[in-house]
Structure 1
Amino acid sequence: MDFMTDRDVEKYRRDGFVVMDGLLSPQECDQLRQRMAEIVDEMDVPDHCRITFSTDHDEQLKEQMQGNADYFITSGDKIRFFFEKGVFDDKGEFIVPKQRSINKIGHALHAYEPLYKKVTHSPKVQGIAKKLGLVSPVVLQGMYIFKQPGIGGEVTPHQDATFLYTEPLGRVMGLWIALEDATVNNGCLWFIPGSHNSGITRRMVRTHKGTLPLTDFVGREQQYDEDKFVAVPVKKGGVVLIHGEVVHRSAVNTSDDSRHVYTFHLMEAQDTRWSADNWLQPSEELPFPPLYTK
């Protein structure tokens, strides 16, 4: 029996998202979290990532910001660390426990970490892609999002295709796997159902000029009606499929509970052009791996 039902497919196509329980067992979730705890324990934090930016006008900071921007834009084929605001003092030392300092780790967990690779290419995930009719899906990126207790930052309303643009649109899908319960209290996702049918109004693009800023936005995000957003809680081990153009957001985590997530994006590569202006680009070291291989 397929993990994804016909009803799930219908809801995904209608609303732009669908929740399916039980993609992973509780034990599998715990294994992914344990491995991530080890990665954080062993992480080496580059100096330029420890900087708290006090001004954009200081010439000395420009070089450090250049390093930080480079660190992000070249992270597509690496495992790198991105921190919450206010976790370093002015000397670059942690003022919160290291495990509580990180916003996310990305963007190549799916390629270089065996446990995450196994989940990404699992029979259930491949079955979802086949059920949706994907012929040649590739994995674009894989990341771990922490949503730390008390400080896990807000993610403002956006569409993934703003950052992962294809021609034609509609070729990108996110899989967002809850490694602990995601609730209204700890920052679950909120969606505007059906908002994936109106295209996009904003794109993040590379500036291709080698100087700051390395990326820029073209167009602007629409103003969205708060009343149209619906909360989408997910049980531990469940997955949310996210259409590349559906509008979604998450609130600050003000609770005492973290909201750990492993998330990755797929693209149907057949008859699709990946934009050379996207911040994320395949590399010689890591071409976008086909989903239908282990």
Structure 2
Amino acid sequence: MSLEQLKRDFDRDGYVVLRGFLSPGELEELRARAEGCLGEAEKGEAYPGVVKNLNKVDPWFEDQLQRGRQRELISALLEDDLEPATAAWFARLPGETSGIRPHLDAVGHRQKGATIWIALDRADRENGCLYYAKGTHRRELPSVVGLEGFSAESEEAVAIEVEPGDATIHSSLTVHWSEANRSRRSRQAISYFYWAASTEGE
């Protein structure tokens, strides 16, 4: 898909899906790096399946955050320079009874940004795939976890089923969530989050 088409889709829907974003070799390196630093990173108490700031544990993640090829693509989609924020690990563990409720990534005065989410495992409805609420980046919504009125049955909800090495990019204003992992399979991903540089100091 051309950059022009990706930009049109991103502007219309608030997200894009990139099939085969990583080669098999790149995927294995990413998986190995993630496994190597998870023990040193701090897991959040509220969300045990989330580990942020991998880039502060392993310089490799800092290099990917600063210079990975996704940075140029996200900059083009946002039409802005970027301020790299964090690399993170997200997992829905087998048998989990809850996911992460509908929310935005935008915080307070910082509204414009984007996340690339790279699948380490297959993600589907059974093991807690991402859901996006298409077009919600064009609405004014509060930045809280647990936005009302969004579910897998919502008209604008899209289940993002992906294979290992696939990626998605979503706006910080796009409502997204994941549900429980009802399978015996893990659903892991690595994300890189960026603020648009123009939001600094607003």
1:80 aligns to 2:42 (yes or no): yes
SS in 2 for 1:81: coil
The code of the aligned residue for 1:189 comes to L
Q: 2:195 aligns with which of 247, 255, 267?
A: 267
1:125 aligns to 2:70 (yes or no): yes
1:245 aligns to 2:173 (yes or no): yes
In the alignment, the residues of structure 2 paired with residue 223 and residue 192 of structure 1 have an alpha-carbon distance, to the nearest angstrom, of: 11
Q: Could you say which residue in structure 2 is the equivalent of 1:223?
A: 149
For the aligned residues, what is the CA RMSD?
A: 2.6
Counterparts in 2 of 1:150 and 1:10: CA distance versus 1, 3 Å? same
Counterparts in 2 of 1:201 and 1:126: CA distance versus 1, 3 Å? closer
Q: For the Cα contact (< 8 Å) 2:66–2:84, is it kept in 1?
A: no
The code of the aligned residue for 1:172 comes to G
The code of the aligned residue for 1:13 comes to D
The code of the aligned residue for 1:103 comes to G
- 1:201-212 correspondence to structure 2 within 5 Å: 201-203=142-144
Residues 118-164 of structure 1: per-residue CA shift (max 9 Å, x gap): 43234521320342254431112221012111227311111112xx2
* CA positional deviation for 1:203: 4.6
Q: Could you say which residue in structure 1 is the equivalent of 2:101?
A: 156
Q: Could you say which residue in structure 2 is the equivalent of 1:138?
A: 83
SS in 1 for 2:180: coil
SS in 2 for 1:9: helix
In the alignment, the residues of structure 2 paired with residue 18 and residue 202 of structure 1 have an alpha-carbon distance, to the nearest angstrom, of: 21
Q: For the Cα contact (< 8 Å) 2:10–2:77, is it kept in 1?
A: no
SS in 2 for 1:145: strand
SS in 1 for 2:7: helix
In the alignment, the residues of structure 2 paired with residue 21 and residue 231 of structure 1 have an alpha-carbon distance, to the nearest angstrom, of: 15
In the alignment, the residues of structure 1 paired with residue 46 and residue 17 of structure 2 have an alpha-carbon distance, to the nearest angstrom, of: 28
Q: For the Cα contact (< 8 Å) 1:23–1:124, is it kept in 2?
A: no
Counterparts in 2 of 1:273 and 1:234: CA distance versus 1, 3 Å? farther
Counterparts in 2 of 1:111 and 1:4: CA distance versus 1, 3 Å? farther
The percent of aligned pairs where both chains have the same amino acid is 23
In the alignment, the residues of structure 2 paired with residue 198 and residue 36 of structure 1 have an alpha-carbon distance, to the nearest angstrom, of: 35
In the alignment, the residues of structure 2 paired with residue 21 and residue 119 of structure 1 have an alpha-carbon distance, to the nearest angstrom, of: 19
Q: How many residues are matched?
A: 200
Q: Whose relative contact order is higher, 1 or 2, with alpha carbons under 8 Å and at least 6 apart? A: 2
Q: Could you say which residue in structure 2 is the equivalent of 1:25?
A: 23
Task: Give unpaired runs (5+ residues) of structure 1.
Answer: 44-78, 86-101, 205-219, 275-294
SS in 2 for 1:139: strand
